[in-house]
Amino acid sequence: MRSIYLDHNATTPLAPAAADAMSAAMAECGNASSVHWAGRRARARIDDARVQVAALVGAAPDQVIFTSGGTEANNLALGGLAGGRRLIVSAVEHGSVLAVRADAEICPVDEDGRIDLAALRALLGESPAPCTLSLMAANNETGVIQPVAEAAEICREFGAAVHCDAVQAAGKIKLDWHDLGADLVSLSAHKIGGPQGVGALIVDAGAELMPMILGGGQERGLRAGTENLVGIAGFGAAAAAVPHMAPLEDIRDSIENRIGALARIYGSGAPRIGNTSCIGMPGVLAETQVMAFDLDGIMVSAGAACSSGKVTPSHVLGAMGASAEQAAQAIRVSLGQDSRQADADEFVAAWQRLYQRLGPARAAAA
């Protein structure tokens, strides 16, 4: 049976260019903090990758702080804020943002999952205290693209800083750090064809952050510890290859057009990244769907794949107005560079079979 992988928002296959760069880095020995020849070679590989990752979002190389992934980048951006600073986050942020500060103020979203800009303005106006907004570029569950630039304009009126979790958006839409208006931007390698276990935080020169990992003073003193040379080399190569990624909207739309009359497509009224569809199957639990599709050789996920295999109610869909029952029936289909129309065709056929077997039609006949 052919396996069809439709869970690229969880992780996507290693790009050939990344594998080659990692293999070359593994063939050498050297600590980038050492001043001898081998150390300088290692430092040069990291410097090259820093240039490549910076170019992905139009930043300067010295703004790139390498981390262990998007989660650490988000934690560094928000957990390292100066004491007493307010934090506002949208209601649909990733768990690695929502969990950082228990006192974070939640800004609501509309039924398509886009931040309510009027509510943001009202929240910012409640206190003159210094504030930071954390707003993702694109949602990992629905693919909905947030109006980060518009939110940043409002934040500037109040002197507030902006952090943008761009982990899911990188490589799928054009990202420019200047156009976003963000002071801090989080990235992750394994969402764009790089290896797992490495990410980056883009830090504006004026941003005031406290390090969360202390020790050797690496990464401009913001992230101590010997750099992950092999992972960083792979990240850089993957970032350099991103402009060659093909659009996937046509394949995604072909799925939604054929099942949309029976399913609920979350966020379909808003701009979305082209590879992502969040699909509710009435009457059938998401975990049941995931297992059934897996038996058919099709790999999808139930919401975010960042909870150690747990299937829990989606706070994202809840914030968009879905009931607990509706949210529990939603799966995420996320395409990648190896996805083909034939994969979409097989998914649609499997979805329709499952719907006929377990959905409302069966319940009505019982």
Active site residues: 306
Nearest to 220, CA basis, from 229, 208, 235, 232: 208
Question: For residue 366, which amino acid is it?
Answer: A
For 87-150, the DSSP string reads EEEETT--HHHHTT-TTPEEEPB-TTS-B-HHHHHHHHTT--S-EEEE--SB-TTT-BBP-HHH
For 165-186, the DSSP string reads E-TTTBTTB---HHHHT-SEEE
For residues 56 and 72, give the distance between their C-alpha atoms in angstroms, rounded to a whole number.
Answer: 19
SS3 350: helix
For residues 70 and 89, give the distance between their C-alpha atoms in angstroms, rounded to a whole number.
Answer: 16
Structure tokens at 233: 């080399």
For residues 142 and 28, give the distance between their C-alpha atoms in angstroms, rounded to a whole number.
Answer: 42
Sign of CA dihedral 210, 214, 220, 222: negative
Compute φ and ψ for 224, nearest 5 degrees.
Answer: -70, 155
Is the distance from CB of 215 to CB of 224 less than 8 angstroms?
yes
Structure tokens at 10: 């969880």
CA 363 to chain centre: 37
For residues 118 and 120, give the distance between their C-alpha atoms in angstroms, rounded to a whole number.
Answer: 5
Is the distance from CB of 131 to CB of 163 less than 8 angstroms?
no
User: Other C-beta atoms within 10 Å of 294: how many?
Assistant: 12
For residues 129 and 176, give the distance between their C-alpha atoms in angstroms, rounded to a whole number.
Answer: 29
**Number of alpha carbons in the 13 Å side-chain half-sphere of residue 28:** 19
